[in-house]
Amino acid sequence: MKRIKINVTKNDIKKGKRCQSGDCPIALAAHRKFKGSAVSVGPFTLGVSQYDHECWRDYTLPKAASNFILKFDCREKVEPFSFTIRATS
């Protein structure tokens, strides 16, 4: 299964919105990889719609990304980082 690298930047963190699955820093970073797709981030998965939002593909988030989400939503200090994802099916 193909792995995809996501880079969360300082700008993503600055523009990201807490507790917003489509506007958090990870979602903003994922939008750059999946241009033209809707992105939704949960505590353990990243969902991407393709083909005019009719087909969703879920990607498992690594533990570092899940921890980042928790820290960011709880207003703790977070730093830019990178992680890889792969499709769950």
Q: Residue 3: pLDDT band by 50, 70, 90 thresholds?
A: confident
Q: Residue 35 has what pLDDT? A: 86
| pLDDT tens sequence across 8-66 | 999 999 999 999 999 999 999 999 999 888 999 999 999 998 766 567 888 999 999 99
Cα distance between residue 39 and residue 10, in whole Å:
19
Contacts (Cβ under 8 Å, ≥6 apart) of 50:
34, 37, 56, 57
Nearest to 6 by CA among 48, 65, 63, 71: 65
Structure tokens at 50: 């393709």
